[in-house]
Structures are given as C-alpha cells and as structure tokens.
C-alpha cells in the first residue's frame, strides 16, 4: 500500500495469534504544527485485514473486540481508503503507508493548548477473515517540535529550474538552466541521495520508482529502476524544517541528442535515531529497518527537451497562446489549444503528457496549423489533476526542428455541462 500525501506511517505485519498483534515502535514523536512521517512495524495479522486507520484524542477498551479503540467524539480524522497502498513484505507480512496530515496534528495541538493531554493516538482496526473479533492496535503520538525529537521524514519536495518551472528546453550542445529542490522535512539527519538522468528512449520511471528508498519495504528497496547517476550528495539537514538542495553543475546534463530528458532526485534511506522500527521485535524480519527519509509521495522529475535543427528553431520559434499556463480547463468538454510560429514547410505535432511524463496524446497536423482541439476523453486516460502540452515542428524524417515551451493545464473538478 503506497500513499501520496504529506506524511507517512508504515506498518508491516506477520503471522501470529490475533491477540498478539504488535507494533514497533508503539510511541512516536510528531511535529506539533505540521505533517509528520513515521515508520512502524506491525506483526501478527495472519487471517486479518486492515480496514481502518484513524487518529483520536482518547482510546478505550475495545471489548468484546481486542485491543483499544477510539473513544467516540474524540476522532481527529481518518485515512481515506483511496490512500491505502499496502503490499506484501517481510516474513509473512505486509507494509502499509498511511499519512498523518497537518490538520490532525493541529487539532491535537489545540486540545493540548487548552489544557488537555499532549498525546493522541493512531488506531488501526483489523477485521478477521474467519469471523473472529476485530483487533485494534493503537500507536501513541506525542506532540513535539519539528526539530530533533521528530522522526526524519520528508513532507514536501518541490523541484524547479532557475526560472521556477519544472519544464524547460535547450538546444543541442547547449546548457540547461540551473535547478534545485526545496525540501520540507521533520527531524534532523544527513540527507543521502543522488541525481539521475533518464535519456530519450529509456523506459520512464513509475510512481513506485520515484518513492524515496525509506518508503519501501526493506526487501523491495533494491528493485527500483536505476538510471545514469549525474552526481551524489550527502548534506546535513539542521532541525529547521526547510532546506534548498542545489542541483549539480548544469553542464553535466547531456544535451547531445534531441528528445525529452528527465532529471530524477533519488533520496536514499538514512539512519534515524528518533524512530527505529525493529522487525525482529514483532517477528517480521531479522533486524531494525533504516527509516530516515520516509515520504508518502513520489518525487516528480524535472523535464527538459533538447531540440535539433537549432538554427531553424531560433529563426522560427513556436509561441503558445491559449490556454494560459496553469489555466483551469473543463474535463467534460473539448477545448482548443492555440499557438503561433513554427518552421515553414514543416508539419506540426501536439504532445500532451501527464505529471509522470507518460504521453497521453500526440496529434500530427498539416503545415501551418495554429490550433488543435483536445478531445473530452483525454482526462479518462489519467487520474492526475494536471497535464502539460507543447507543440513541435518536424522535418521529413520526423526529427524535431523547433519546439515550444511546456504549459501546464489543470482539470476543472466541476463538469462544464450535465
């Protein structure tokens, strides 16, 4: 189970008697003002299914069920079923990544500021597949600052080029803009990782490939797809909550062949004394798991396009007109893309991609075309809230000789017609 959200709790389970379901650690520190991530190991759920995960201010005996459940009226929030991303892991176990959003910790903080307890509870409910009693497993969440006591976890990562965009272009043999990653986190640790490059023609990464290493079950961490390493880094992150990671020298990025390149930020697992999850403690594996750098979301790549025929591209640039960048567009109606320019005598191609750089649509148009109607079924090909589009001029061999910038469009959640 993988969750794309602000913070993470990871559970791992194995075969034991129902009453022996255990969790390690059973107590974690959380940021009192924002999102928090933690890695837990849970064991003993053979014959049980995790069906609910909620946060509550108080717990009580769950009799006639087993364990302790939330007290009615003290529930702060629950994990939506759509964010359930559990997967088999460990010795007859599974992992489950679940998010602790800032809204939950803010509510708990308000209770504590009003004189209430400075702890709240994360309660997982397991249902028997054979008709036995439900089992409730609580984890105590202790409010703390966002500093050294909180587990080291990433709560948001934003990659951009120097101009603030995540998409850019370069000429063959040219240099790409400088780029960076603004990282928000809890705790403190040394951030280990690497920058990788995906060249045109290589299979793109999946969302699973873009998760941080610490967000995966320990036996799956070596299975993520690897690409050419541009540079490695090990940077100390002080307990301040925000850090700007500068990318490598842009001259290190290849621009020798035309096509779409992806720049990936790969975050490796770091030792984290604030939260250690011991698989052996609950029978799910032989040793503690390195959990520093856990995140419940994939880190989207940067994209840059290298175009051939540089002289033609300079003389006949393609400028996108409508819709404007970051515009909201209808999801139930067709809508029109417009542009101007392009190389005379060359055919046009419209390219539409999703945030993971999967091509959703390509449209070949006659010479001189300056508009294209996107069909209403386009949004059925992706669950993403946004897409990106660009326009290219192609020579007789299908090579790109000029290319526009990329523009991002957002799906209007309200249908434009009944």
**One domain for residues 17 and 134:** yes
- Pick the closest to residue 233 from 267, 271, 263 (CA basis): 267
CATH number for 398: 2.60.40.10
Low-confidence ranges of the chain (pLDDT < 50): 1-18, 82, 309-311, 415-418
pLDDT tens, position by position, 352-394:
988 777 889 999 998 888 999 988 888 888 887 788 898 988 8
What confidence score (pLDDT) does residue 279 get?
59
What confidence score (pLDDT) does residue 88 get?
60
State which of 144, 175, 199 marks the end of a domain.
144
**Is the backbone peptide bond immediately before 264 cis, with ω within 30 degrees of 0?**
no
Q: Does 416 fall in a domain?
A: no
Q: Which two tokens stand for residue 361?
A: 């649509």
400 Cα distance to chain centroid: 31
**One domain for residues 318 and 260:** no
Q: Which two tokens stand for residue 192?
A: 């280990």
Instruction: Give the count of domains, the chain.
Output: 3
What confidence score (pLDDT) does residue 17 get?
42
**One domain for residues 125 and 165:** no
Interatomic CA distance for residues 285 and 24, integer angstroms: 12
**One domain for residues 270 and 161:** yes
What confidence score (pLDDT) does residue 64 get?
92
Interatomic CA distance for residues 153 and 394, integer angstroms: 45
Q: Does 268 fall in a domain?
A: yes
- Residue in the block written with tokens 């040394």: 190
**One domain for residues 139 and 268:** no
Q: Does 280 fall in a domain?
A: no
Q: Does 417 fall in a domain?
A: no
Q: Does 193 fall in a domain?
A: yes
**One domain for residues 191 and 73:** no
**One domain for residues 132 and 160:** no
State which of 100, 120, 144 marks the end of a domain.
144
Backbone angles phi, psi at 109, to 5 degrees: -65, -40
**One domain for residues 135 and 50:** yes
Q: Does 204 fall in a domain?
A: yes
User: Taking a C-beta distance cutoff of 8 angstroms, is the pair 154, 241 a contact?
Assistant: no
What confidence score (pLDDT) does residue 188 get?
87
**One domain for residues 301 and 313:** no
Q: Does 92 fall in a domain?
A: yes
**One domain for residues 118 and 227:** no
**One domain for residues 233 and 321:** no
State which of 109, 144, 179 marks the end of a domain.
144
**One domain for residues 163 and 300:** yes
Interatomic CA distance for residues 308 and 255, integer angstroms: 10
CATH number for 112: 2.60.40
DSSP string, 151-212: --EEEEEEEEETTS-SEEEEETT--PPPEEEEEEEES-EEEEEEEEEE-TTSPPPPTTTTS-
Q: Does 3 fall in a domain?
A: no
Interatomic CA distance for residues 273 and 253, integer angstroms: 36
The domain in which residue 197 lies consists of 153-274+296-305
User: Taking a C-beta distance cutoff of 8 angstroms, is the pair 141, 30 a contact?
Assistant: yes
């Amino acid at each position: 189970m993988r969750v794309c959200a602000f913070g993470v709790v990871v559970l791992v389970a194995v075969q034991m008697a129902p009453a022996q379901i255990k969790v390690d650690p059973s107590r974690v520190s959380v940021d009192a003002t924002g999102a928090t991530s933690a890695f837990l190991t849970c064991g003993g759920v053979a014959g049980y299914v995790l069906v609910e995960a909620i946060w509550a201010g108080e717990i009580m005996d769950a009799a006639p069920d087993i364990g302790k459940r939330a007290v009615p009226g003290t529930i702060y929030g629950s994990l939506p079923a759509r964010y359930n991303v559990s997967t088999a892991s460990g010795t007859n176990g599974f992992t489950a990544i679940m998010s602790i959003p800032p809204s939950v910790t803010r509510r708990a903080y308000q209770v504590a500021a009003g004189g209430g307890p400075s702890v709240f509870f994360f309660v997982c409910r397991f249902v028997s597949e054979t008709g036995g009693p439900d089992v409730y497993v609580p984890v105590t969440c202790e409010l703390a600052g966002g500093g050294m006591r909180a587990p080291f976890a990433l709560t948001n990562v934003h990659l951009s080029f120097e101009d603030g965009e995540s998409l850019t272009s370069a000429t063959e043999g040219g240099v790409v803009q400088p780029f960076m990653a603004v990282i928000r986190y809890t705790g403190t640790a040394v951030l280990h990782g690497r920058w990788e490059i995906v060249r045109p023609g290589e299979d793109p990464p999946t969302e699973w490939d873009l998760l941080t290493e610490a967000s995966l079950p320990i036996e799956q961490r070596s299975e993520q797809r690897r690409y050419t390493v541009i540079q490695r880094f090990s940077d100390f992150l002080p307990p301040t909550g925000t850090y700007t990671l500068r990318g490598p020298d842009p001259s290190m990025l290849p621009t020798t062949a035309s096509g779409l390149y992806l720049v990936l930020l790969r975050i490796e697992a770091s030792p984290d004394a604030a939260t250690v999850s011991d698989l052996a403690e609950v029978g799910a594996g032989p040793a503690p798991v390195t959990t520093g750098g856990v995140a419940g979301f994939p880190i989207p790549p940067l994209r840059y396009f290298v175009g051939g025929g540089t002289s033609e591209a300079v003389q006949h640039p393609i400028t996108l007109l409508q819709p404007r960048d970051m515009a909201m567009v209808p999801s139930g109606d067709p809508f029109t893309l417009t542009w101007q320019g392009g190389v005379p005598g060359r055919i046009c191609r419209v390219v539409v991609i999703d945030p993971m750089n999967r091509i959703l649509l390509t449209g070949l148009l006659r010479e001189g075309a300056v508009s294209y109607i996107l069909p209403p079924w386009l949004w059925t090909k992706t669950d993403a809230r946004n897409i990106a589009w660009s326009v290219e001029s192609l020579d007789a061999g299908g090579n790109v000789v000029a290319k526009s910038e990329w523009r991002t469009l957002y799906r209007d959640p309200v249908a434009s017609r009944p």
